[in-house]
Amino acid sequence: MAHEILKKLPEDVIIYILLRLPIKSLIRFTCISKTWYILIRSSTFINLHLNNSKTAKEEFIIFKRSLQVDPFQHKTTLSFLFGDDLKPVLSDLDVPYLESTFVNDYDQFIGPCHGLVALISMMNTVLFNPATRNYRLLPRFPSDAPQGFRCSIDGVGFGFDSIANDYKVVRISEVYNDPPYRDPYSSEQKVEVYDMITDFWRELDNIDQDMPRIYWAPSSMVFYKSACYWLAIGPKDKMIILYFDMGTEIFNSINLPHTCNSYNGPHYGLVVLRDSITMLRYPNPNPEYDPAQDLMQIWMMKEYGVYDSWMKIYTVRPLLIESPLLIWKDCVMLCESREGSLISYDLKLDKIQEFNLQGCPTSMRAICYKESMIQIPCESKDSAQVQYF
């Protein structure tokens, strides 16, 4: 009977209603009729739903960490959390292709970007839509270091090129002499880009060998607007932000506030807060450093690209954390504790909350996510096919 009523409604009214439904309901409704299937699966409807979800208030946290299965095996697990108490709303997912014999503490968890997220390890990249549970294994990074040399992956990024209407993965690596004869003066920096449209990796030419070196930390890379941003070590060991425009494929940099850009001592993180690039400077978690001697500082670039617009928005009392992961709802900072648990700190209320979520040291990551119907592209029959968890 409900179907008969809906058939009498104008199509624009039906679309208006459907755009406000959760993904789970939309997937069910594709079974009502062929017409509804074509409508809901159309790129027009999916993009409308994506734009609508960006303004929705409801979002959940996807929490990633590495768990030890046995002495020689670790797995990557995702938890889906919702509400102020971060209660699980779905069963945990073990991510295929990211198992390892060691802790996955160098993995990057990037997104959401145009509705998708990427999990990138030293070997594999898994593209994933958390709402539809679809995922796809991308082709592996090319491994072409000549004999007697090794390749070290310094940084990875994932983003969307709105000019080419294509998802891309970028990898920054360094090729150097095989140990024990590593010579920093004979190393070479390489940048490779994977295009989803071609399903192929390609190396960029004419890379500046004096390009700043990527600074690794659990939250040191974000995709913002049309570029990938990393914290990096510039001249004279000064911290800067290095970014790569996904459309032009050109690198550029942004200077950090001069009062907090020293590489030696503190640690740094990078997040997007209130639609602005935001830098976190926090005490070194190494036991030989006393966190009580240093406060955390949170700086926001109020006007993009304008150095003088850097503004310190929070000074945080000493916290016993390994690293910050995310700032959620403008004032709730999620962190990995020194004990390997997920904790939150309310920047306004000065309140700490610990959650019953643990993982291997330095393996925790977290992102905010709003549901999307975006489909994972698979352009070639020879490509790895989209699968379902």
Strand partners, 300: 278, 311
- Reported as a pLDDT band with limits 50, 70 and 90, residue 127 is very high
Shared-domain flag, residues 78 and 34? no
What are the tokens at 323? 């690293």
CATH of the domain at 223: 2.120.10.80
Over residues 155-192, the pLDDT tens digits come to 999 999 989 989 999 999 888 776 655 555 567 889 99
Average pLDDT over residues 61-74: 89
Shared-domain flag, residues 82 and 38? no
- Residue 1: per-residue pLDDT: 47
Over residues 285-295, the pLDDT tens digits come to 876 666 666 78
Q: Does residue 298 lie in a domain region?
A: yes
| Tally of domains within the chain | 2
What is the span of the domain harbouring residue 155?
Answer: 59-379
Q: Which amino acid is at 129?
A: N
Strand partners, 18: none
Q: Does residue 44 lie in a domain region?
A: yes
Shared-domain flag, residues 40 and 133? no
Over residues 252-270, the pLDDT tens digits come to 999 999 888 888 878 999 9
H or E element that contains 25: helix 23-29
Shared-domain flag, residues 28 and 81? no
Q: Does residue 385 lie in a domain region?
A: no
Q: What single-letter DSSP state applies at residue 170?
A: E
Q: Does residue 386 lie in a domain region?
A: no
* pLDDT surpassing 80 at residue 62: yes
- Residue 268: per-residue pLDDT: 93
Average pLDDT over residues 363-381: 84
Q: Does residue 389 lie in a domain region?
A: no
Shared-domain flag, residues 44 and 149? no
Shared-domain flag, residues 234 and 300? yes
Shared-domain flag, residues 24 and 111? no
- Residue 269: per-residue pLDDT: 93
**3 state SS of 138:** coil
- Residue 233: per-residue pLDDT: 92
* pLDDT surpassing 90 at residue 309: yes
Shared-domain flag, residues 81 and 176? yes
Q: Does residue 273 lie in a domain region?
A: yes
CA nearest neighbour of 220 among 281, 271, 272: 271
- Residue 5: per-residue pLDDT: 55
Shared-domain flag, residues 263 and 209? yes
Note the pTM of the prediction, 2 decimals. Answer: 0.88
Q: Does residue 345 lie in a domain region?
A: yes
Shared-domain flag, residues 160 and 42? no
* pLDDT surpassing 90 at residue 100: no
Per-chain mean pLDDT for the chain: 86
**Which one has a higher pLDDT value, 66 or 380?**
66
* pLDDT surpassing 60 at residue 69: yes
Alpha carbon distances (Å) from 241 to 87, 107, 268, 292: 34, 20, 11, 27
Count of CA atoms in the C-beta half-sphere (13 A) of 297: 14
Cβ burial 298-320 (10 Å sphere, 16+ → b, else e):
bbbbeeeeeeeebeeebebeebe
| Range among 64-73, 186-195, 246-255 with highest mean pLDDT value | 246-255
- Reported as a pLDDT band with limits 50, 70 and 90, residue 193 is very high
* pLDDT surpassing 60 at residue 86: yes
CA nearest neighbour of 125 among 159, 83, 92: 159
Count of CA atoms in the C-beta half-sphere (13 A) of 224: 20
Q: Does residue 2 lie in a domain region?
A: no
Over residues 315-351, the pLDDT tens digits come to 999 888 999 999 999 999 999 998 889 999 999 999 9
**3 state SS of 234:** coil
* pLDDT surpassing 80 at residue 383: no
* pLDDT surpassing 60 at residue 214: yes
Shared-domain flag, residues 65 and 113? yes
Shared-domain flag, residues 123 and 28? no
**Which one has a higher pLDDT value, 248 or 220?**
248
